């Protein structure tokens, strides 16, 4: 019985493209999928960080491959997708993780360039990747797309600025639902993970520089701590596996209870 229960999460033979995979949550997602048996294809802009992470994950799955590309550039994304199809013949899983962080400025001090950078990276880049991979999944009549949303898509975070970030994450939730409906006839599941505060590199630096804010966040989390990126591994495996076959358009909140208040 236990073997059958575990088998439902087995991703052996699956090909997974993970964006923003060189560090942070993207690295945790790529590692988790490799550990579950999938062949991870890593995409990020920083070649040196990407190569370092790729070599680490190749210790889990030697077929791990990586490409440097900017998700906001259509041509670069399409080239990567074509290379993956040429090499592996399919893409079973897409994890749209790549994003830029919060620009911690009040709206009246935010330039249009700063606003556009956040929206273009977090939202438009995700659409570009989803469209390129979605075309292949439609041909395959199967696929799993997992978008990285945020609790910031449903709340306004206390103690920080940056409306462009909240707006981008809220739009990701809408994009997830829209694609879920559009691509359901092709057996493509589209869901999103909405994390709370996690100990990624940017967050650690921000917390170190803003101890009062760190204390405030911990106080607002019922579990009284910040999440570890590895604590999202189970969620991404679930959404990538057949265990979630009857689930689409959902936003899975993983925040230690932050949004319960």
Residue 57 phi/psi, 5° resolution? -70, -25
* All residues at 6 or more sequence positions from 147 whose CB lies less than 8 Å from its CB, including other chains: 96, 126, 130, 172, 175, 176, 190, 191, 192, 193
Give the three-state DSSP class for 250. coil
Query: Tokens for 124?
Result: 């438009």
Report how far apart the first and last C-alpha atoms of the chain are (Å, whole number). Answer: 39
118, 168 Cβ separation under 8 angstroms: yes
Active site residue 165: yes
Set 165, 197, 238, 258: catalytic member: 165
249, 180 Cβ separation under 8 angstroms: yes
40, 4, 16: which is closest to 240 by C-alpha?
16
Alpha-carbon distance of 260 to 16, in angstroms, equals 33
Alpha-carbon distance of 130 to 223, in angstroms, equals 34
Query: Angle formed by the axes of helices 233-240 and 24-35, to 10°?
Result: 60
Catalytic residue positions? 165
């Amino acid at each position: 019985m236990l073997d059958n229960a575990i088998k439902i999460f087995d991703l052996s033979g699956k090909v997974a493209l993970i964006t923003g995979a060189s560090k942070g949550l993207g690295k945790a997602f790529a590692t988790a999928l490799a550990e579950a048996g999938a062949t991870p294809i890593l995409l990020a802009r920083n070649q040196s960080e990407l190569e370092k992470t790729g070599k680490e994950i190749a210790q889990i799955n030697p077929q791990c491959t990586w490409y440097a590309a900017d998700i906001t550039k259509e041509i670069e994304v399409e080239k990567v997708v074509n290379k993956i199809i040429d090499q592996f013949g399919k893409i079973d899983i897409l994890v749209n993780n790549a994003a830029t962080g919060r620009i911690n400025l009040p709206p009246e001090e935010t330039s249009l360039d700063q606003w556009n950078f956040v929206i273009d990276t977090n939202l438009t880049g995700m659409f570009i990747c989803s469209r390129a991979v979605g075309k292949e999944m439609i041909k395959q009549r199967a696929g799993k797309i997992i978008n990285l949303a945020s609790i910031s898509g449903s709340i306004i975070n206390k103690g920080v600025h940056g409306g462009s970030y909240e707006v981008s994450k809220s739009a990701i939730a809408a994009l997830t639902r829209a694609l879920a409906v559009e691509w359901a006839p092709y057996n493509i599941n589209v869901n999103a993970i909405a994390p709370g505060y996690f100990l990624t590199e940017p967050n650690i630096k921000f917390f170190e520089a803003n101890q009062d804010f760190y204390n405030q966040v911990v106080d607002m989390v019922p579990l009284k701590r910040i999440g570890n990126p590895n604590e999202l591994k189970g969620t991404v495996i679930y959404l990538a596996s057949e265990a979630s076959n009857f689930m689409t358009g959902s936003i899975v909140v993983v925040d230690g209870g932050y949004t319960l208040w």
